[in-house]
Structure 1
Amino acid sequence: MSSESQTMSVTTWIGTSNTGYAPLAMEEVRRTIEGAAVRILAPAETFIIESPLDRVETLQKLQSQPPVFLRHIQPIDGTLLLSETNEADVLPWLAAEISRTEDQIRGKRISVHVRRAEGCSYPYSVFDTKTSLDGVLRDVGATIDQRSPETIISIYAVKDQLLYGIGTPDELMSDWPGGAIRFQREEEQISRAKFKLLEAERAFGLDYTQYREALDIGAAPGGWTSLLLERGVSVTAIDPGAMHPSLRNHPKLTYLKRNASEVKFKPNTFDLLVCDMSWSPMQMVKLVLDLHESLTYGATAIITIKLMHRKPLQTIRDVIAKLESVFIVHRAKQLFHNREEITLFMTKQY
């Protein structure tokens, strides 16, 4: 390919990570897309990606090597400099951008995502922006559907720029603005850790109601156990710490107030293992591997890996290399509800 044709095919994107993990996400992009240039757009979590590949090729690269830390991606199909635009002309510009995509969105379920970086000069609220665009979408024959969209119109305001792009939820890696999945906190919710397991279910295409017997290692106070019990799964929870009082008499719960390293189970007992412990990564790996015989062949495992060291990418590689002696590691991903950790989705080898 000539240098001229390479220049012509450059595409530009917004990448988003969890706060503080943008450098790792940017490094992932560089390694995945040869020749890509990346630079910070907004501090802590958002950056620009300039790919030497066209849209289709860029997405194929990212989908063939799913990133761990890149949470969300948005193509930049249009840019408006707010410092050079009258306030009254901003929303008409967005309306014109949407109208140009009529062939792409006619008859589709459409969601509009609006994000505003701190300190941006964009003059309109998220609500006002969406409201103003509703009529445009209807005029081009689209249906507004925030819950299950087929196509997403993404609008990102940062500093004095308004960046616009359009794509499917699969292309954008999420059907939530910026990949920031929000769950409603329940009155009697035991801990926010429950959100991690809920997000894992969505991210990895799981259905917890399909499991029969689960083993929850390091279960206390019971955030993950509570969700599995709600889905009808029988749970054996292990932890020297106390479980939440609301769980103690649950008919489907077996609670072992012990260290997981001290217990053994019959082979092929559990079809699901979950683990969300604040242990060093290699200690956690040893514990899971020591218990693998209690899992049925093909059993699912969802575990979090704490990133305690200065070289998280090497830690992840080392952990996966150890686990692959017993498990097929389908995905390593930093979920929105992860903090200093990532989540692994695995199945036990046959």
Structure 2
Amino acid sequence: MPPDSPDSHSGNAAPKAPFVFATCKQGWEKALKDEAKSIPEGLRPAFMRPGLITWKCEVPPTADFVLPGIFARMSGHSIGTCKDAADLASKLGEVKRHTLKLHVYPREFPEDGLPLEEWSRIDAFRTRLLKSLRDAGVAMDDDSETVLGDTVLDVIVEDDLAAPFFAGWHRHGANTNPTPGGIPRAVIPLESPSRAWLKLVQALAFAGLETKNTHPLRGKIAVELGSAPGGASYALLQRGMRVMGIDPGAMDPRVLNYRTPQGGIPFKHLQMPAGEVDPNLLPPQADLLISDLNLAPAVMIRLVKKMQAQVQASLLILTLKINDRAVFASLQENLTAIRDFAPGPIRATHLPGNRDEICVVAGRLGS
């Protein structure tokens, strides 16, 4: 079988096959492969499709293996291509000793979000697959929401859902995206002022703040640099935050006129450049500091550092623009500069909605 075939490493027992996988935004496979060159397992590319790469490991990976770096959306141990549930069950090997969470998600994903009707099709496929795996004797957990230590079965599907699917597994840890496939189920609402709404919602999901039953942002304070026209601010207001937006540009009326259920006005606009803000106009402390400034990373970082010294936010969500070769090459240098002043831990990722930019999440939301 040729080395680039997805079946060439499927085997009969996933843990014995020294292959790993990672998904990424389609078109960013080279960045993902470049990151993989430096990890100690010694990865040799084996199979690639848009948004999906597998590697053969020179050193067998540990059970907790994840591909470190920025461009891997989801990663873990590769099982390979499976033609149906029975085929998948036969290839699980020692993984069958665990009760598995099932994550099903598409290989290719539109950057502005997958329509809910498409998610409904995928969910129906997941329901059928879950039943078939149980019928085959695999212990499965109904809930797809993960907690630390869960063993997750990743099933990556094609558009038609009828073709053979790719499977892998990973152990959910502190550095693993909690959302299946790292793909939040968010589509830009018609009333949103801009697509910054989508990027912010995806960043919140990456930070573990988009939860089903709790409202961790409600009543907390956010300061946003570069807020106009207001997509990210609008998302925060919808989640019950009080927001100060700083931007010389005009804010959308839907943000300026947003009202709480009690009739309060939770948004304040400082219509000026971020570097000219009088500290007396700022809240004494913020819970969240956001920047999506369209500036070179070094300039943006200086402004954020100055603002953070004033508001002492426990959580930062920052966008780093990487739209030229020089900036891309200095990415790690910029992350180091953020570590000098931002609260930890610091994680960076290429969100599904990101273009030539990455998202940095630093710290944790305070109680």
State the identity as a percent.
23
Range that drifts further, 140-149 or 324-333:
140-149
Q: Is 2:155 the counterpart of 1:155?
A: yes
Mapped to 2, the partners of 1:173 and 1:340 lie a distance apart of: 22
- Aligned match for 1:36, one of 38, 43, 51: 43
For the residue of structure 2 that corresponds to 1:164, the secondary structure is strand
- Aligned match for 2:240, one of 216, 232, 237: 232
After the TM superposition, which segments of 4 or more aligned residues of structure 1 sit over 6 Å from their partners? none
1:143-163 deviation line (CA, Å, top 9, x unaligned): 4334558543333468x9754
Matched pairs, number: 317
- Aligned match for 2:87, one of 90, 93, 104: 93
**Partner of 1:111 in structure 2?**
102
- Aligned match for 2:77, one of 72, 75, 81: 75
Range that drifts further, 194-203 or 165-174:
165-174
Q: Is 2:266 the counterpart of 1:252?
A: yes
**Partner of 1:145 in structure 2?**
143
- Aligned match for 1:314, one of 308, 326, 329: 329
Task: Report the TM-score when normalising by structure 1.
Answer: 0.76
**Partner of 1:217 in structure 2?**
225
How many Å apart are 1:72 and its aligned residue?
Answer: 1.0
How many Å apart are 1:281 and its aligned residue?
Answer: 1.3
- Contact 1:9-1:52 at 8 Å conserved across structures: no
**Partner of 1:49 in structure 2?**
55
For the residue of structure 2 that corresponds to 1:77, the secondary structure is strand
**Partner of 1:87 in structure 2?**
none
Mapped to 2, the partners of 1:324 and 1:151 lie a distance apart of: 31
Structure 2 spans left out of the alignment, 5+ residues: 1-14, 110-120, 210-214, 259-264
- Contact 1:42-1:117 at 8 Å conserved across structures: no
- Aligned match for 1:17, one of 20, 24, 41: 24
For the residue of structure 2 that corresponds to 1:320, the secondary structure is helix
**Partner of 1:196 in structure 2?**
199
Q: Is 2:355 the counterpart of 1:332?
A: no
Q: 1:11/1:205 Cα in 2 relative to 1: closer, same or farther (>3 Å)? A: same
Q: How does 1:172-191 map to 2 (within 5 A)?
A: 173-191=176-194
Q: Which residue identity lines up with residue 326 of structure 1 in the other structure?
A: F
Q: Which residue identity lines up with residue 179 of structure 1 in the other structure?
A: G
Q: Is 2:127 the counterpart of 1:134?
A: no
Which protein has the bigger strand share? 1
Whichever of the two has the greater Rg, that structure is: 1
Structure 1 spans left out of the alignment, 5+ residues: 1-7, 83-89, 119-124
Task: Report the TM-score when normalising by structure 2.
Answer: 0.73
Mapped to 1, the partners of 2:339 and 2:182 lie a distance apart of: 28
Range that drifts further, 233-242 or 163-172:
163-172
- Contact 2:104-2:126 at 8 Å conserved across structures: no
TM-align CA RMSD: 3.5
- Contact 2:41-2:60 at 8 Å conserved across structures: no
**Partner of 1:289 in structure 2?**
305
